Amino acid sequence: MKSSNNDPADNTVGVENSETEKRFDLTTLPTETSAQKLIRRIDLPVQLTRIAILAFILWIWQSRKIFSGIKVFGVEILPEIIPLFQGVPTEAWDYVTQVWDDSLFWQDFWVTLQEALLGFLYGSLSGFIVGMLLGRFKRAQKVFSPFLIFTNAVPKIALAPILILWYGVDIGSKVALATIIVFFIVQIPVMAAVSGVDPDLDTVATSMGATQMQKFKLVVIPGILGPLFGALRLASIYAILSVVFGEFLASKRGLGQRLLYQINNFGMGAAIALMSLLAILALIFNAGIGFMERKFLRWQDDTTRGNVVSL
């Protein structure tokens, strides 16, 4: 419809306003069935490639080809290893089936799990609280930071023998070692994250008359959850690492103790099984933290969350 007036601001010229105007109909788009959705989620090519890679690794390992002296520029990168020291996947599997019904094994499992969980809990809780307070109260940070920096610089693994003298050969010394290591893994990023919380959010809360406790609850803690979960993921792996090391040094029970015993007796298959089990334990820890992370950080994009484990 053309307008006949001469208004310079008239903008209807050239616009067809008939009822038969062609428009894109969204309902014509094909819809995805739930079965199709599942297939897309599973992403078969990725899964098959993964399985193929795993099978290849197991095959090459089982056939002991990995030790057959690979040379790079004429230099042998893997030395000749006598068969006794090799250990293959079937030996590892044999060990798993053998200990599966052994209650002593599960007692060891429980000891290590307990040590790692307690060390993780104490270390991350104290690291979280100290990191938050020092991040918030700058003068306190000024006072304590030289002490913390020095303590953190101590190679903490070297404390293990001393901790065994102090806390004994039972779980106490392993929990103590894990606590110290986890503490710094959590405290340092939390302290940095507190300083990174948007100061405007603080100003808004202050202007509304929020108390210091309310600001911790409403501004600081929610503001640092991202870095906190990142630190916790790392801490969970280090908790297991430190208790295994502690058990290596001196212990009566535990998976680390079992592992050392097997290695000393050339039980390489068993050692591989135990190490895999410890890795699975770490992954379960990690998945638990990932679950909490997804719950608390729903507001963040999936892409901005760190995913150590993605199955």
Partner 1 sequence: MTTNAVSLKDVSLIFGGQDTEHVLAVDTINLEIPQGQFVAIVGPSGCGKTTILNMLSGLIKPTVGSVQRHGQEVQGPSRDIGYMLARSALSPWRTARKNVELGLQIHGVGKSERKERAEELLELLHLEGFANAFPSQLSQGMRQRVAIARTLAIDPDLWLMDEPFGALDAQTRLVVQAEFVSLWEKSKESTVIFVTHDLEEAVLLADRVLVMTARPGRIKSDNLIDLPRPRVIDELRFDEKFKAAEHKIWRELRDEII
Contact residues for partner 1 (CB under 8 A)?
198, 200-201, 203-210, 214, 218-219, 222-223, 225, 297, 299-301
Residue-by-residue DSSP string for 181-196: HHHHHHHHHHHHHHHH
Minimum CB separation of residue 209 from partner 1 in Å reads: 5
Minimum CB separation of residue 195 from partner 1 in Å reads: 17
Q: Say how far apart CA 120 and CA 128 lie, in whole Å.
A: 12
Residue whose entry in the numeric block shows the structure tokens 């050339």: 266
Closer to partner 1 by CB, 121 or 201: give it.
201
Minimum CB separation of residue 228 from partner 1 in Å reads: 13
Closer to partner 1 by CB, 283 or 297: give it.
297
Q: Say how far apart CA 193 and CA 23 lie, in whole Å.
A: 50
309: left (phi over 0), alpha (psi -120 to 50) or beta: beta
Answer whether 292's CB lies under 8 Å from 310's CB.
Answer: no
Minimum CB separation of residue 219 from partner 1 in Å reads: 7
Closer to partner 1 by CB, 12 or 214: give it.
214
74: left (phi over 0), alpha (psi -120 to 50) or beta: left
Angle at 286 between CA 280 and CA 291, to 5 degrees: 125
* Residue 126: both structure tokens together: 């104290």
Using alpha carbons, list the distances in angstroms from residue 131 to 134, 140, 182, 218.
5, 11, 12, 17
Residue type, 241: L
Closer to partner 1 by CB, 220 or 274: give it.
220
Minimum CB separation of residue 208 from partner 1 in Å reads: 4
Closer to partner 1 by CB, 71 or 298: give it.
298
Closer to partner 1 by CB, 5 or 207: give it.
207
Closer to partner 1 by CB, 66 or 218: give it.
218
Minimum CB separation of residue 138 from partner 1 in Å reads: 15
Minimum CB separation of residue 296 from partner 1 in Å reads: 8
Q: Comparing C-alpha atoms, which of 231, 251, 45 is closest to residue 164?
A: 251
Q: Say how far apart CA 134 and CA 141 lie, in whole Å.
A: 5
